[in-house]
């Protein structure tokens, strides 16, 4: 009887841990999605990596949220292109390059310190090289 009781308590603990784990994955997915959406408006905050992370988290926690994200008209194609081909659409590349140039231009206009400007140039150049080195997918 004691053995049966231990099995029951282990199952309850496993179920409780499973719910907690799913909840943590959902929170991480929600935070990643929020950061990805912010990245649309903030040039130095990347959108796609956070959306990929959100898809990964939702895949482990909620089939409904994962399906919603993958079928989303704006985010879904971006995630699918990356997962299937490691690709970034031409329009996304263009938008990214314009945003990088705008950030650098704004920094120059505002008279940002030379050291900070140098760091920006190095980081933005690395980001640009990565983006431009990815295969391009035609826009739908």
d(CA 60, CA 45): 24
Distances in whole angstroms, Cα of residue 15 to Cα of each of 29, 65, 82, 93, 119 = 21, 21, 34, 44, 48
Tokens of 57: 């988290």
Confidence at residue 2, expressed as pLDDT on a 0 to 100 scale:
46
pLDDT of 9:
52
| Predicted TM-score of the model (pTM) | 0.64
Q: Which residues of the chain have pLDDT under 70?
A: 1-17, 43-44, 137-140
pLDDT 10s digits, 6-46? 545 545 455 566 888 899 999 999 999 999 899 888 766 77
């Amino acid at each position: 009887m004691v053995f049966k009781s231990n099995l029951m308590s282990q199952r309850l603990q496993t179920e409780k841990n499973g719910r907690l784990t799913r909840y943590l994955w959902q929170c991480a997915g929600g935070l990643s999605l929020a950061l990805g959406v912010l990245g649309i408006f903030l040039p130095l905050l990347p959108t796609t990596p956070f959306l990929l992370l959100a898809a990964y988290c939702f895949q482990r926690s909620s089939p409904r949220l994962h399906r919603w994200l993958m079928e989303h008209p704006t985010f879904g194609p971006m995630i699918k292109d990356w997962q299937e081909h490691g690709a970034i659409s031409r329009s996304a590349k263009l938008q990214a390059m314009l945003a990088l140039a705008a950030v650098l231009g704004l920094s120059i206009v505002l008279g940002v310190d030379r050291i900070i400007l140098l760091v920006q140039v190095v980081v933005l150049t690395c980001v640009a090289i990565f983006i431009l080195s990815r295969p391009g997918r035609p826009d739908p």
